[in-house]
């Protein structure tokens, strides 16, 4: 499982372990680099399904695109040599409409998986509850300026459960029919990112000011709902507020 130590990855590890699956955690911290290939062939020996929740660490589109292009190619090639039968990857809702930034890099991520030698299943997720804290951490000074753009935040644990369902679905993996929408998972409540950040800011003692998002990549289409779940999306709690109440 690639990206085992990340925000989403550690929940995927928990869900797999709770359901009794054997896991080979892959990240540079565990000695496996999916870009250079270090440790990859050894890690994939005997693996049936590859889960890919690895990610580039910042929003630069070009660097992120290069990361996902190389990572998907290496995972498929090493996976095929090792005899794996399926790759399941996390992506982002609305990436097909994005023109810039990290979200747009998911087009190459998805394309790399769907055109690779191994059958692949993709799950598109809404922004994670766990991502809101990062917006506060990125602030300069005492005040966090967060765009009032609509979102339908989802918990990493919820995404992990759906991803594991997809990875362990006994149906034989088929090449996706171009008419079938890619599965989506999102939270149950539409709100703005600024509203969620204000809830978190109140707990952390950080002032959050809502801004209109102009200057951000794709702010206009985001305001029009481009990154909200489609009608076929699965919606599952907890809401951001409920999730916050469970956090230490």
Ligand X SMILES: NC(=O)c1ccc[n+]([C@@H]2O[C@H](COP(=O)([O-])OP(=O)(O)OC[C@H]3O[C@@H](n4cnc5c(N)ncnc54)[C@H](OP(=O)(O)O)[C@@H]3O)[C@@H](O)[C@H]2O)c1
Candidate segments 86-94, 205-213, 226-234, 236-244, binder of ligand X by CB under 6 A: 86-94
Q: Binding to ligand X (CB under 6 A): which residues in 32-71?
A: 32-35, 53-55, 57
Nearer to ligand X, 7 or 97 (CB): 7
Q: Binding to ligand X (CB under 6 A): which residues in 108-167?
A: 125, 127-128, 131
Q: Name the residue with the smallest CB distance to ligand X.
A: 6
Least Cβ distance, residue 132 to ligand X (angstroms):
9
Least Cβ distance, residue 102 to ligand X (angstroms):
7
d(CA 61, CA 146): 20
Record the tokens describing residue 165, joined without a space: 């369902």
The residue from 15, 27, 87, 135 that contacts ligand X (CB under 6 A) is 27
Contact at 8 Å (CB) between 216 and 152?
no
Kindly tell me the burial class for residue 205, based on how many C-beta atoms sit within 10 Å of its own C-beta (0-12, 13-18, 19 or more). Answer: exposed
Cα 235 → chain centroid = 16
- CA R_g for the chain: 18
Instruction: Tell me the C-alpha to C-alpha distance, in Å, between residue 76 and each of 114, 161, 190.
Output: 10, 23, 36
Least Cβ distance, residue 70 to ligand X (angstroms):
9
The residue from 65, 72, 106, 239 that contacts ligand X (CB under 6 A) is 106
Nearer to ligand X, 65 or 127 (CB): 127
With binding defined as CB under 6 A, does residue 29 bind ligand X? yes
Nearer to ligand X, 124 or 206 (CB): 124
Nearer to ligand X, 3 or 229 (CB): 3
Instruction: Tell me the C-alpha to C-alpha distance, in Å, between residue 167 and each of 69, 77, 87, 177.
Output: 21, 19, 8, 18
d(CA 37, CA 29): 14
Nearer to ligand X, 9 or 229 (CB): 9
The residue from 86, 87, 90, 146 that contacts ligand X (CB under 6 A) is 90
d(CA 8, CA 160): 7
User: How many C-beta atoms surround the C-beta of residue 36 within 10 A?
Assistant: 11
Q: Binding to ligand X (CB under 6 A): which residues in 209-228?
A: none
Chain residues in the site for ligand X (CB under 6 A): 2-9, 26-29, 32-35, 53-55, 57, 90-92, 106, 125, 127-128, 131
């Amino acid at each position: 499982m690639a990206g085992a130590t990340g925000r989403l990855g550690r929940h995927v590890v928990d869900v797999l372990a709770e359901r009794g699956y054997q896991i080979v955690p892959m990240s540079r911290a565990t000695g496996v680099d999916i870009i250079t290939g270090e440790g990859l062939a050894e890690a994939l020996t005997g693996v049936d399904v590859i889960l890919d929740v690895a990610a580039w660490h910042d929003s630069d589109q070009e660097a992120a695109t290069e990361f996902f292009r190389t990572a998907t190619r290496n995972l498929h090639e090493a996976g095929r040599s090792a005899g794996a039968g399926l790759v399941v990857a996390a992506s982002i809702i609305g990436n097909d409409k994005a023109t810039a930034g990290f979200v747009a890099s998911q087009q190459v991520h998805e394309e790399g998986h769907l055109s690779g030698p191994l059958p692949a299943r993709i799950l598109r997720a809404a922004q994670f509850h766990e991502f809101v804290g990062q917006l506060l951490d990125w602030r300069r000074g005492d005040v966090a300026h967060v765009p009032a753009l609509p979102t339908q935040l989802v918990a990493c644990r919820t995404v992990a459960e759906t991803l594991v369902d997809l990875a362990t679905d006994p149906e034989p993996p088929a090449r996706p029919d171009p008419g079938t929408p890619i599965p989506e998972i999102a939270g149950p409540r539409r709100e703005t990112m600024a509203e969620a950040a204000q809830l978190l800011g109140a707990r952390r003692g950080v002032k959050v000011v809502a801004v209109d998002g102009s200057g951000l990549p794709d702010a206009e289409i985001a305001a029009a709902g481009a990154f909200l779940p489609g009608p076929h999306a699965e919606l599952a709690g907890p809401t951001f507020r409920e999730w916050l109440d469970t956090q230490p």
